[in-house]
Chain A
Amino acid sequence: DQQVKQNSPSLSVQEGRISILNCDYTNSMFDYFLWYKKYPAEGPTFLISISSIKDKNEDGRFTVFLNKSAKHLSLHIVPSQPGDSAVYFCAASGFWLTGGGNKLTFGTGTQLKVEL
């Protein structure tokens, strides 16, 4: 039962263009969402997060959009740079609204390649 899904295993984008990574979830109890970036032989690195009371959060070149009715979120990277080439994981947790916050449920990741 894959509660967080990243249906695109890979994405290739030219440097300077926009990268859009997508994520869908099925569990209505999820109320906090995060994106992580992972390079080979390293642990996941936190990028950006969004709570269920917002529909957009921006941090520099990274913007996360949340569509609760569609149970869908996306990560936009503008402009894309070669150093952004990595695997991107979407993750979700529950109980944020009640002051908790517990385990993360991850998608299977999307390999982003930014080409020169």
Chain B
Amino acid sequence: DTGVSQDPRHKITKRGQNVTFRCDPISEHNRLYWYRQTLGQGPEFLTYFQNEAQLEKSRLLSDRFSAERPKGSFSTLEIQRTEQGDSAMYLCASSLVIAGRAGTVKNIQYFGAGTRLSVL
């Protein structure tokens, strides 16, 4: 299977605990994105990486959230001191974007199955 994989699929934690999620993108993809989805909403952008560089962070990403992509391959998303409002589906996506080739790149992002976080 060469799709985007996320681990774990489900995580239940108590308020105040730290959690870490992992995402393995499609191997040749240079961009990796994190989104969060709550019930009745579409996915909301959190942050993205071009190779190992984190290029943009949403205002949704409070200082309790940190994401890394140390070698430009897999990524981790850590939430410190979890709160009940952090309960959501965390989705990872990857894409291949070649800078400078205007109008030729299809910014199609391929998503993993997500990690469902429940904070009790």
Q: Which residues of A contact B (CB under 8 A)?
A: 4, 32, 34, 36, 41-46, 49, 51, 53, 89, 91, 93, 96-109
Interface residues of chain A: helix, strand, loop or mixed (majority)? loop
Contact size range, B: 35 or more
The answer to whether B95 touches A101, judged by C-beta atoms less than 8 angstroms apart, is: yes
Q: Which residues of B contact A (CB under 8 A)?
A: 4, 6, 33, 35, 40-45, 48, 55-56, 58, 91, 93, 95, 97-114
Bound Cα distance from A51 to B100, whole angstroms? 17
11 A-B interface contacts by CB (under 8 A): A34-B109, A42-B113, A43-B112, A44-B111, A46-B109, A46-B110, A99-B99, A100-B97, A101-B97, A104-B35, A107-B42
Interface centre among B41, B58, B101 (most CB of A within 10 A): B41
Bound Cα distance from A45 to B43, whole angstroms? 13
